[in-house]
Structure 1
Amino acid sequence: MSGSPSHAVTRRAFVAGTAAVAGSAALAGPLAGAAVAAGFGWRDDGTNYVVDTGAALVFKVSKSTGDLTSLVYKGTEYQGYGGKNSHIESGLGSSTVTLAQSGSTILISVTHGTLRHYYAARAGENHIYLWTNKADSSVSATRFILRVRAGLFLNDEPDSYTYTTSTIEASDVFAKPDGQTRSKHYSKVRVIDYDYTGWSAGGVGLWIVRSNHEKASGGPFYRSLLRHQSADGGGLYEILYYGENQTEAERYGLQGPYVIAFTDGGAPPSALFPGTLTTPWADSLGIPGYVPASGRGKVAGVGIAGRDTAYPYTVGLANPSAQYWGPARSSDGYFSIGGVLPGTYTLTVYKGELAVYTTSVSVSAGGTTTLNTITIPSTNDPSNASAIWRIGDWNGTPGGFKNAALMTYAHPSDVRAASWTGNVVIGSGTETSAFPCYLWKDVNSGIIVYFKLTAAQAAAAHTLRIGVTTAYANGRPQITVNDWTSPIPAPPAQPSTRSLTVGSYRGNNHTFGYSVPASAWLTDTSRYNQLRINVVSGSGTTSYLSAGTSIDAIDLLA
């Protein structure tokens, strides 16, 4: 996976000289056809560049569009369904496509307006390395989709709709006859949770190993579609920017490499993973925007104090140009984030998915920015506030609430979902598991929480807090406590697209605070006070697409 490319000048007989000349502008350094592995080389069939990796993989790239038009592994064609190729977005159309070979590397360059896209093959490897450079918004190119022929990797997973044709939302959420739901959106995992996606069957594994996502948007906890399987074939994705439930602006620049990898059925080699992949062989390829390891830096922290050790902590770096993240060690909070482009970043410490500390750090090429122990102020973690009662905990997710786990891979109408209605009694022992993770104006608005107060508690005003992780159509909670009703709060900034119905609760964490006067409480301590939570908004439609919100925690402060 590493080492400098060979520059042997042995020319294979079938290499088209005209193509080699055309590719000379795409590569810096010596150019020559090289027989560095049995069968390794390329040819021009008039329509496509045909690349043989010298292992078991032969692929074709259209000379006119830059589409991947063929993907043959061990003699079997895997590319294509519905007459469509594999490509950036839905295909670029007319493009300038060139090829050049430098020793053990073949690079195909695609230019379409301000967009540049690259395919690289290495001698003896069953992999294709891809880079995409979106310079601005003039070209729509936010994903690469690898289209795979039908019948090769049948599955019936949450992100499949092979076995169902009943559409229940938009044109991309489906219901099976047994009431289970399927959609390409239901990936289950966050970006931080996976290194690759794909399938394995019949002794063949086909995977896309994701890039480090330094030019993507949404941070470590973003969720997006990774793959799908339908009656006409399957799709594997590398999402560079997806305008659904996005919390950040789009970043521009060179993204990659991400890798199409074939195996003999097992997982792709860990050397391809975004945390371990090194590409010194690409340093001299002349790819605009490419920054080698020597041009990058590192941020390391000796520890994080003030953590709640019941939760994992993640450290993120972000600025308008790039994003990175890494785990904090559970024992002491030590962290190290490498491969960072030079610049100034906002460093954020997350408890679960809740930001509890931020600072600014600067990174220089070839340097390590070392931070002394970070101490999280007690007041930064809302869990440290003394509460009369609390439902859930403050970790930036709806984890533990009713239906929370299911909602990352199913539609709210799924037959496996417990009833979205039903009230909650403080002291029952099931407060969190009985409270629904999502509230909608048209589904379960008006849920009631019953609780008792002591005489001393009822004699004082208290603050009630409701934490949310995202909202759809400006849905936000208004509360009624017995006969007292709060003002309608202003909606916080949240993504404007679907979220709760496409497997994502990740938006902008926000805490609503309600100052409840002493006059609102019941003075009879034997009776239950009633907290009613309504979802208010003038937007949204009906049912699960009515205005809604996702719950992080609810508590009544002492």
Structure 2
Amino acid sequence: MSGSTGRSLGRRTFVLGTTAAAVSATALTPTAAAASFGYTDDGSNYVVDTGANLVFKVSKTNGDLTSLVYRGTEYQGYGGKNSHVESGLGTSTVTIAQSGSTILVSVAYGTLKHYYAARSGENNVYLWTNKADTSVSATRYIVRVKAGLFLNDEPDSYTYAPTTIESADVFAKSDGQTRSKHYSKLRVIDYSYIGWTTGSVGLWIVRSNHEKASGGPFYRSLLRHQSADGGGLYEILYYGENQTESERFGLQGPYVIAFTDGGAPSSSLYAGNLTTSWADSLGIFGYTAASGRGRVAGVGISGRDTAYAYTVGLANSAAQYWGSARASDGYFSITGVLPGSYTLTVFKGELAVYTSSVTVTAGGTTTLNSIAIPSSNDPSNASAIWRIGTWDGTPGGFKNADLMTYAHPSDVRAASWTGNVVVGSGTETSAFPCYLWKDVNSGIIVYFKLTAAQAAAAHTLRIGVTTAYANGRPQIVVNDTWTSAVPSPPTQPSTRSLTVGSYRGNNYTFTYSVPASAWLTDTSAYNTLKIYVASGSGSTSFLSAGTSIDAVDLLT
């Protein structure tokens, strides 16, 4: 993963899981079932033996996972804490039942219900969480892992980062590199599992399909961390940071705690591949079997820019889904969808370029004719005198853009956030900072020339943004003679974003009608565009009002 310092960590290594090919898929098949499959009661916990190499315990008092023993080694726990929903549920009703080759532990805490399932002969724990309301503030499951078993010095660790630089969760090492549990680099669509491997033991969380999560396919959240105390692996179902959607409620899962002999978890566990017909009759509250779900398929998408990947999303207040459009023709198929009416959105990169409605029925396939994206829906199709960046809903290509998904803006690896831009230099995009802050680099100058005919006409200037912090939004000054009004702030998340590895908010385009009188008539002279960040909110430095840039252009 980018950002490695190359520090030797001895015999232990790590992996941040993304795809099936990320780790050699060795020893992925379940161990044959053994006669020891079953459960016991030790007085305080239900003790489940999977009949393979995994024994785990669930507290009868609060539903915490109190032990994870794989091949005789205890992996669970650090700082006196167990693995659990949120920071622990408190006194709960905990029951256990065996149905053939499946054992189910059920936890009820008020309106929240949580489940652990074991299958005979597998080194996996299947989990579901049903959150019915806001009585539990956020929804995550954290697997707490003992210190020293897996070590790393990657962006999402802070073992070797002694200095706190922001909000007690962003740290700096002595060499100036930054670390935080927020710096996973990955969007939800980018990974199937998360975890570590020593080469001989792998411990992973295989994510669920996130149908009851919020934020869509491009949402970023903390996935794991490691410190001197130990490590944590997360399944985040709703995290109140940089959220663009309201919280969804209902049953989420399964997500899977999986042990392997060092390789990646089996791809049969991945969301979209996993089949759980064995759970259909277990009585999991809110569970919908495959037969009660539907599918949406599109025969193709025209009007695409083939230089970009396209994603199709489905969303309503109850659920969300997504799938990739085939590069050759735009064909897509989204399966396992709960019945209902959804907004269908086609994304070019991360920029929405088409929306419609679709209805899904249980057991049915909704087939859509070829979707035609209107040319006007893609801002890249507008004729421009000049353009900085690309209209894809991300700050990709701008200065420091890639680094900002796994580092703090103060990181020593970041190029200077100041500096001006010259159109026609060939470095317009790479010299333009991906983020602008009121207290850091507000007032950046773009230099450009116009022909006599161009200078004789009014033009529209556009600035696309992907998110903002503290209502930061761009105000422009042209040639120090014409100043735009301060635009109203669009709806954006109210929490941190730019400093915790995420540029994902609500894409918005600011437009400015610049009169002909603002331009220089000397065609050999450079016009100047100054972009300021306007806002009375925020604090100082990188927590002052700011915004992330998608593209800037001057239309013909």
TM tier relative to shorter chain: over 0.9
Q: Tell me what 2:477 maps to.
A: 480
Contact 2:248–2:319 under 8 Å retained in 1: yes
Q: AA paired with 2:498?
A: L
Deviations 1:511-542 (A, max 9, x none): 00000000000011110000000001010000
For the pair 1:439 / 2:439, whether they are aligned, the reply is no
Q: Tell me what 1:164 maps to.
A: 161
Q: CA deviation at 1:275?
A: 1.5
Q: Tell me what 2:507 maps to.
A: 509
Q: AA paired with 1:378?
A: S
Provide the rounded CA distance (Å) in 2 between the counterparts of 1:143 and 1:162: 23
Q: Tell me what 1:145 maps to.
A: 142
Contact 1:88–1:141 under 8 Å retained in 2: no
Q: CA deviation at 1:143?
A: 0.2
Q: CA deviation at 1:165?
A: 1.8
Provide the rounded CA distance (Å) in 1 between the counterparts of 2:403 and 2:93: 46
Q: Tell me what 1:205 maps to.
A: 202
Q: AA paired with 1:368?
A: T
Q: CA deviation at 1:288?
A: 1.2
Provide the rounded CA distance (Å) in 2 between the counterparts of 1:355 and 1:113: 39
* Counterparts in 2 of 1:556 and 1:141: CA distance versus 1, 3 Å: closer
The CA RMSD measured in Å over matched residues stands at 0.8
Contact 2:128–2:252 under 8 Å retained in 1: yes
Q: What are structure 2's unaligned runs of at least 5 residues?
A: 1-31
Q: Tell me what 2:299 maps to.
A: 302
Provide the rounded CA distance (Å) in 2 between the counterparts of 1:243 and 1:139: 12
For the pair 1:258 / 2:255, whether they are aligned, the reply is yes
Q: Secondary structure at the match of 1:240?
A: strand
For the pair 1:37 / 2:34, whether they are aligned, the reply is yes
Larger Rg: 1
Q: Secondary structure at the match of 2:305?
A: coil
Contact 2:341–2:358 under 8 Å retained in 1: yes
Q: CA deviation at 1:332?
A: 0.3
Provide the rounded CA distance (Å) in 2 between the counterparts of 1:433 and 1:473: 26
> Which residues of 2 match residues 142-291 of structure 1 at below 5 A?
142-291=139-288
Contact 2:194–2:205 under 8 Å retained in 1: yes
Q: CA deviation at 1:202?
A: 4.6
Q: Tell me what 2:339 maps to.
A: 342
When the two structures are superposed, what TM-score results if normalisation uses the length of structure 2?
0.94
Deviations 1:293-351 (A, max 9, x none): 00000000000000000000000000000000000000000000000000000000000
Q: AA paired with 1:546?
A: S
1:292 to 289, 293, 299: 289
Contact 2:293–2:361 under 8 Å retained in 1: yes
Q: Percent identity?
A: 84
Contact 1:38–1:55 under 8 Å retained in 2: no
Q: CA deviation at 1:36?
A: 6.5
Q: What are structure 1's unaligned runs of at least 5 residues?
A: 1-34
Deviations 1:153-203 (A, max 9, x none): 010010000112210001000000000000000000100000000000150
Q: Tell me what 2:541 maps to.
A: 543
Provide the rounded CA distance (Å) in 2 between the counterparts of 1:388 and 1:153: 53
Provide the rounded CA distance (Å) in 2 between the counterparts of 1:161 and 1:417: 19
1:530 to 528, 534, 538: 528
Q: CA deviation at 1:265?
A: 0.3
Provide the rounded CA distance (Å) in 2 between the counterparts of 1:38 and 1:152: 29
* Counterparts in 2 of 1:155 and 1:36: CA distance versus 1, 3 Å: closer
Q: CA deviation at 1:37?
A: 3.0
Deviations 1:245-267 (A, max 9, x none): 00000000000000000000000
Q: Secondary structure at the match of 1:299?
A: strand
Q: AA paired with 1:181?
A: T
Deviations 1:69-96 (A, max 9, x none): 0000000000000000000000001000
For the pair 1:490 / 2:492, whether they are aligned, the reply is no
Provide the rounded CA distance (Å) in 2 between the counterparts of 1:174 and 1:90: 22
Provide the rounded CA distance (Å) in 2 between the counterparts of 1:487 and 1:216: 38
Provide the rounded CA distance (Å) in 1 between the counterparts of 2:145 and 2:253: 21
1:460 to 454, 457, 460: 457
Q: Secondary structure at the match of 1:345?
A: strand
